[in-house]
Structure 1
Amino acid sequence: MMKTQHEIIKQGYDALVHSLGITDTIRFIQYFSPGKGDYTKERHQWLDEKTLEDVLEEMKELSSEDTNQYDEIIE
């Protein structure tokens, strides 16, 4: 049987608390914010001006960089 969204969320929080403890779970959740604004509208402001070649070039540049963004310390 499929789980409800509520059951999945509860199971996720339980797993975080079990793995990280309450304090670090709170710190982890605070790190991720839903953000503000209208992403769909805002992305057109920068994406509509790019060509496919521009996007491909940026992807190549990113793949050559160290992009391990999760090595930072969450305070």
Structure 2
Amino acid sequence: MSVHKMSPRDIRRLGLEALAEALGPVGMARFLQQFETGAGDYTEERKAWLDDMDVEAIVEKIK
């Protein structure tokens, strides 16, 4: 069956099976951990960090 006709659930299942076969269960887990989305709202946090800074202040921090 073509992946274009598969549901997202089926693609995920086949992908996980392929990873487990190629890497083993521990390797699969380590691979998947690389794509953890994390937590928080980066946009809001960045705004809080940079809200009172202008371009010149940012350049000074980089130096």
Please classify the TM superposition score into its range, dividing by the shorter chain length: 0.5 to 0.7
2:17 is equivalent to residue 26 of structure 1: no
Shift of 1:44: 6.6
- Could you tell me the percent identity over the aligned residues? 39
Any stretches of 5+ residues in structure 2 without a counterpart?
Answer: 50-63
Q: What pairs with 1:9-48 in structure 2 (closer than 5 Å)? A: 9-39=12-42, 41=44
Could you say which residue in structure 2 is the equivalent of 1:65?
none
Q: Which runs of 5+ in 1 are unaligned?
A: 47-75
TM-score, normalised with respect to structure 2: 0.54
Relative distance call for 1:42 and 1:23 in structure 2 (3 A) is same
Instruction: Give the AA of the match of 2:19.
Output: L
Question: Matches of residues 46-57 of structure 1 in structure 2 within 5 Å?
Answer: none
Greater than 6 Å deviation, 4+ residue runs = 43-46
CA change 1:2–1:31 in 2 (3 A) is same
Structure with more of its chain in helix, by fraction: 2
User: Alpha carbons of 1:7 and 1:37: their partners in 2 closer, same or farther (altered >3 Å)?
Assistant: same
How far off is 1:38 after superposition? 2.8
> Which residue is 1:2 aligned to?
5
